[in-house]
Amino acid sequence: MNIFDVYKLWPIEPVKAKGCTVWDKSGTEYLDMYGGHAVVSIGHTHPIYIEKIKSQIDKISFYSNSVINSLQTSLAEELGQMSGYSDYSLFLSNSGAEANENALKLASFHTGKFKIIAFKGGFHGRTSGAVAVTDIPSIISPFNTGHKVSFVALNDIDSVKKELSTGDCAAVIIEGIQGVAGIYSPEIKFLQELREETKRCGVVLILDEVQSGYGRSGKFFAHQYAGIEADIVTTAKGMGNGFPIGGTIISPAFNAVSGMLGTTFGGNHLACAASLAVLEVIKKENLIEGAAKKGAYLFDSLVALRDRVGEGVISDIRGVGLMVGVEMKEEYSSVRDSLLFEEKIFTGVAKGNIIRLLPPLTISFEEIDHFIAAFERTIEKTKRD
Ligand SMILES: Cc1ncc(COP(=O)(O)O)c(C=O)c1O
């Protein structure tokens, strides 16, 4: 049997990793400015993470959701406290798509309505509802088109108001920072107005923090820069540092009805142990404050680099904390591959010419300097070629 060939693979096989360093099969060392797509939050193979998972697996790794699992309660308590959503409830699943799928279902159960307002450029996952609210037509199959979804431009409150006025809307779903699209933050005023308008219309506001959450932005959730509270917040990626786990964080206004949501694997003992380790390390190592500081340093270093290499190379730098997008002029689209193959640095990409920087939150100032120097070398070399 072959692997179903849907991923464009780099010819690299990582076999070992520590902190922000990854080694491939032949022993070549890479700097990880990508975090395996914003997943590795507390760094690779963190000792607390290893210890918690190992000791849990020695006790029990799984039992079904029909018995008490106090690790889930501990996780909910800790997450509530650290995120500022302590009066909300937590439903645990296995991925970002599932966290969103459950959020959309809950919004529809709660309001009795079915239309969803989503945003152009938005990405929310690949399950039926999550992909229907994703603005990438090529990944939406005919089977997924049965949902009623209206896409509006990010930051366009008048269009949102127009859609809300139809009265058939269950929810608005929005990313804390659009990641897959190429790092676009909703304006603070827009988020505040969105909160007001959805509240006024009795429509559920879902904040998808799957990529931008867990401290990456320099706040626990990126939307907290706008000082708003969502009705539902979704998380995944950084939540388990690589162990599959997703969370739907639900306002006390929602009634839990037995059986309305469910999952076999979600919230299993190992996933909870991994996720508790992540929160412990975030707290112990002040990683959220660190993400804000190191993110500002990275951003300033990139601005200085743009000044040195000239605006004809880097057309925009966006983002906050350790979620940064560097938009390159089309002629410099090869820089990302050169960074990987020549400088041995992993980064992410969007639209071919936007480099996405999503390193583990444990990245050091020295590693950021190393990246900037390599980035500059690569740009200068590309200019000459
Ligand atoms: C904002 C956002 N939501 C949802 C998802 C889907 O998460 P998963 O791949 O874990 O289903 C992603 C994945 O990239 C994402 O960036």
For the stretch 79-134, pLDDT in tens is 999 999 999 999 999 999 999 999 999 999 999 999 999 999 999 999 999 999 99
Instruction: Specify the pLDDT at position 8.
Output: 92
Residues 63 and 149 in one domain: yes
What's the 208 CA to ligand 1 centre distance in angstroms? Answer: 9
CA 230 to chain centre: 16
Residues 226 and 272 in one domain: yes
Distance (Å, rounded) from C-alpha 146 to C-alpha 149?
A: 9
Residues 303 and 183 in one domain: no
Helices 269-284 and 47-59 meet at what angle, rounded to 10? 150
Is 349 a member of any domain? yes
Instruction: Specify the pLDDT at position 310.
Output: 81
Q: What average pLDDT does this structure show over 307-333?
A: 94
Residue 385 — pLDDT band, cuts 50, 70, 90?
confident
What share of the chain in percent tops pLDDT 90? 98
Listed residues 284, 316, 347: the one ending a domain: 284
Spatial contact of 272 and 75, defined as CB atoms under 8 Å apart: yes
Most informative mutation of 41, 93, 104, 123 for ligand 1 (most atoms within 8 A of CB): 123
Q: What average pLDDT does this structure show over 350-378?
A: 97
345 has a pLDDT exceeding 90? yes
Listed residues 232, 258, 284: the one ending a domain: 284
371 has a pLDDT exceeding 90? yes
Residues 55 and 194 in one domain: yes
Is 219 a member of any domain? yes
Residue 369 — pLDDT band, cuts 50, 70, 90?
very high
Q: For all residues of the chain together, what is the average pLDDT?
A: 97
Is 63 a member of any domain? yes
Print the domain residue range for 109.
47-284
Torsion from C-alpha of 47, 49, 52, 54, nearest 10 degrees:
-80
Residues 110 and 169 in one domain: yes
Q: What average pLDDT does this structure show over 300-304?
A: 98
Distances (CA, A) of 334 to 122, 149, 382, 384: 25, 36, 8, 13
Ligand 1 binding site (Cβ under 6 Å of any ligand atom): 95-97, 100, 123-125, 175, 179-180, 208, 210-211, 236
Give the pLDDT confidence of 304-319 residue by residue, as tens digits: 999 999 879 999 999 9
Distance (Å, rounded) from C-alpha 38 to C-alpha 211?
A: 6
Residues 69 and 153 in one domain: yes
Residues 331 and 191 in one domain: no
What's the 311 CA to ligand 1 centre distance in angstroms? Answer: 32
Is 90 a member of any domain? yes
Residues 265 and 358 in one domain: no
State the CATH number of the domain containing residue 28: 3.90.1150.10
Give the pLDDT confidence of 264-287 residue by residue, as tens digits: 999 999 999 999 999 999 999 999
Collect all residues with Cβ–Cβ distance below 8 Å to 58 and sequence separation of at least 6: none
Give the residue from 175, 234, 161, 235 showing the smallest Cα distance to 203.
Answer: 161
Instruction: Specify the pLDDT at position 320.
Output: 98
Residue 192 — pLDDT band, cuts 50, 70, 90?
very high
Is 9 a member of any domain? no
Is 8 a member of any domain? no
Atom 16, ligand 1: residue with shortest CA distance: 211
Is 377 a member of any domain? yes
Residues 150 and 191 in one domain: yes
Q: What average pLDDT does this structure show over 357-366?
A: 98
Residues 301 and 206 in one domain: no
Residues 256 and 335 in one domain: no
Spatial contact of 370 and 326, defined as CB atoms under 8 Å apart: no
What's the 123 CA to ligand 1 centre distance in angstroms? Answer: 7
State the CATH number of the domain containing residue 116: 3.40.640.10
Residues 126 and 238 in one domain: yes
What's the 94 CA to ligand 1 centre distance in angstroms? Answer: 11
Listed residues 266, 284, 302: the one ending a domain: 284
Is 161 a member of any domain? yes
Most informative mutation of 131, 177, 237, 263 for ligand 1 (most atoms within 8 A of CB): 237
Number of domains present in the structure of the chain: 2
